[in-house]
Structures are given as structure tokens and as C-alpha cells.
Amino acid sequence: MSGHTATEKIMAKHAGKAEVFPGDAVVCDVDLVFHHSPWLCVPYFDEIGEIGRVFDGDKIAFGLGHHVCLPSTQEYATFLKQSREWTKQYGIKHLYDMGSGNAHILMLEKGHVAPGYLCVGGDSHATVYGVLGAFGTAITYEIADAMLSGKTWFKVPPTVRIRLEGDTRKGVCTRDVGQHLLGNVVGADGAIWKVIDYTGSYISGLSVMQRAILSFLAVEMGGMNGFIEPDHKTYEFIRDRVHSSYEPVFNDADAVFEKEWTVDVSGIEPLVGCPPRPSNTKKVSEVAGTKIDQAYIGGCTGSSVEDFRMAAEILRERSIHPDTRLVIVPGTQEILKCLREEGLMELFENMGAVISAPYCGPCQMMCYGFLGEGESMIGTHPRNLPGRAGKDVEIYLASPYTVAAAAVNGKIVDPRNML
């Protein structure tokens, strides 16, 4: 009899079973139910009946400041007002309002996610909760169900393992590693109905926030979660954040992985995700010279302190190209505070960057940051698909080094020549 993966163990525990196997249908208790747009789930309550309260208000969080840092229409402002009222009406205890930041990063920063937890979100990037050794995934339409029952169902997924070894070379970072996995290793559909488990010496060396980039990108490969076994860095990250009890879960030594890839990251070059989908990966040399109207540093996969430090390595003592705008969106208030302390905000301000309050950024045009027809953007965010950011736009995805280098040159260039 072989052992179990961490995901099988988390699901068994939350389903009240001794063990479960891939393909089993299970109903699990949930530790966190997250949504950024309550008006897409709470109105269903009224279609069901008269609702007293949610199953457990302490396990539900609304991240109203995720998609917007200020409402762009009065209609939207009214949705937000209703959402604030719903938290009181239904006993929802956690509300992160305008300006608080990217709600996924807030779930990690504010202690809503801990090793061994089972978390569901109304947003596809809920795969990031795996970075702290939790199972996290999106169930958007069924969030109303989970808010009332405290449970949701799963077909227990098999796990595929990605072992990352070595270290990246100068001018190459985690965003490039993620882009390599998405474009050249797993593909856009290689992990459908599966959990991705990241391991190896490269993962051990990364901070939690850089690991999170890979857990976010798990969904772009079709994955249900981007799991990383907890280690001393995980415990250090959650030490002053998580105040509830938790039980870390690990893969058994003889756990069965459906597939295993080993990647030496030292051979990875700067990469660019090209239109029309994130997996369309090219070397920076193949797209060098592409004109860029807007360069954007922020979003799930590029708004941590380290991402802005990398950008600053390129931007310091240089200026923004006159035909290009640089947009800076720190992930959360906590990140913004660090950037101020390190003098990075001053650097970006002095060079004339457009600086926004924290939110998830112009990855889709829901707040501000629209592109004109025929314009192009390069950003550290995760997505560039049709229908996401207006019509007739070209969006490229890259590391903070490559994005900053494009801001300076007005076109895509190899950032390694600028370091």
C-alpha cells in the first residue's frame, strides 16, 4: 500500500475520512471562504430562502479592494455599499475595503491561510493558498453554497510534482521560471483536475512571496492548487499572522505523484508571455524591439517588495522613455509601507511613474488603467487573454527586470544588458 499526497491527506481530514484516493468524490469542511465581489454570490441567498447568517462568520472574508482601489462608477460604489451592509446582516467578520490591496495576498498576510487548511475562493488565483501548505482553489459560483453550508465537494485530484533545482542567473527571476513552466514544461492544460506540488532546492531558497508567484501561476497551467510543503520560511511568515490552530500536512515518503518533472532553473533566460494567452512563451530576444506604450509593475505575480527591488535595479539613475508610461501598483498596504521605508516609492515618484493605491492592478480593465485601441502593455501580472483588457490591445507578460527595461527603452529589450 502506497502513501498519500498532502492534498489527499488534507481532503481526508476535512471530509472526516481515514483516507481518500484520487478520483473519490468527497464533501469537505472549509476553513476559509473568500470572495472579492459579494454581489456575485450573496444575492443568491434571496433566491434560496430567508437566511439568518452564514455558517461561520470568522471563516468568511470579503476583499472589496481587490479589483478596485476606488469605484469607477456609481453602480459599482453601490455594490460596495451593499457588500458592507451584508457583512453586518449575515455576520461576516472579515472585510478588506478600498485601498487595502490584492485580496489573495491579504489572505496570506492577515493570517486567513495556514498549513493544512482547506480554502475556497471566488477567484481563480485562490491556488496561491498552496504556498503556505494549504489546499486552496476556486469554486466561484458555488461560493454562496459554501458560505451557507461550510462545505464543498471535490473529486480528489492527483498531484503532479515539479522539482526545481539550482538558481537563476543574473537578470532572471521567479516570474521567468513560472513562465518557463507554463510555456515550455506543463503547458496551459497540463495540470487540469490536478494539484501542482513544487519542490526542490530552488523552492527552498525562495521567500514565501516569491514562491507565491508559482502558486498563483498553477491555475494558468490548469491546476487546482499550487502546493508547497511548509518549511522554516513558512512558519516564520505565519508566526505573527496566524492566530488559530493548524496542523501542517506533508506528502508521505512513498506518496504517488502522477507525473514528475525536474527542471534546472540555471538554464532559463528572460521570457515573455505573448498574446493571446499566458502560455505563449517566447525568449526576450525573439520579441525584442516590440513597441510598448505602458509598462506595469504589480498584480498577483509581481507586486511584492522583492519584485519592486528588482525593478529598481534597472530604473535607478535612468528615466522613463518619453513615449511610455510606467504604472506602479504595490500589492498591499504592508508592501507599500516597506517600499516607502526602503526609499523605493520616492525613486518611482521622482522618475514620474503613475503610482496607485494597492489593489490587484490593471490586469483587466475594471478600475482604471485602460489602454487605447491599438496600444500595447507589458506587465508583471499573470494574464493577457482576449476579452480581459478591452479590444485591439497587445499585452505581454514578463519579470520586473524585463518590464522595467521596457519602461526605460519604450520597447522590449533584454534586461541583462542593463544590470
- Contacts with other proteins, residue ranges (CB under 8 A): 25, 37, 39-40, 44, 47-55, 67, 72-73, 75-76, 79, 122-124, 126, 137-142, 144-145, 148-149, 151, 153, 155, 188-189, 192-193, 219-220, 222, 224, 276-277, 279, 364-367, 383, 385-389
* Residue (383 or 411) nearer to other proteins, CB: 383
**Least separation in angstroms between CB 315 and other proteins:** 29
**Least separation in angstroms between CB 100 and other proteins:** 17
* Residue (46 or 240) nearer to other proteins, CB: 46
* Residue (37 or 290) nearer to other proteins, CB: 37
**Least separation in angstroms between CB 320 and other proteins:** 26
**Residue 91 in grid coordinates:** 455576520
* Residue (104 or 411) nearer to other proteins, CB: 104
Buried b (16+ CB within 10 A) or exposed e, 93-114: ebbbebbbbbbbbbbbbbbbbb
**Residue 206 in grid coordinates:** 525562495
* Residue (243 or 391) nearer to other proteins, CB: 391
What's the rounded Cα separation, in Å, for the pair 116 and 13? 9
**Least separation in angstroms between CB 192 and other proteins:** 6
Buried b (16+ CB within 10 A) or exposed e, 361-371: bbbbebbebeb
* Residue (246 or 370) nearer to other proteins, CB: 370
**Least separation in angstroms between CB 188 and other proteins:** 6
Q: Which residues contact 130 (CB under 8 A, 6 or more apart)?
A: 136, 195, 196, 215, 218, 225, 226, 227, 228
Q: Which residues contact 278 (CB under 8 A, 6 or more apart)?
A: 179, 182, 188, 217, 220, 382, 383, 384, 385, 397
What's the rounded Cα separation, in Å, for the pair 110 and 255? 32
* Residue (193 or 246) nearer to other proteins, CB: 193
**Inter-residue contact 147 to 55 (CB < 8 Å):** yes
End-to-end C-alpha distance for the chain, whole angstroms: 53
**Least separation in angstroms between CB 39 and other proteins:** 7
Q: Which of 331, 337, 307 is CA-nearest to residue 402?
A: 307
Q: Kind and range of the H or E element at 118?
A: strand 118-121
**Least separation in angstroms between CB 278 and other proteins:** 8
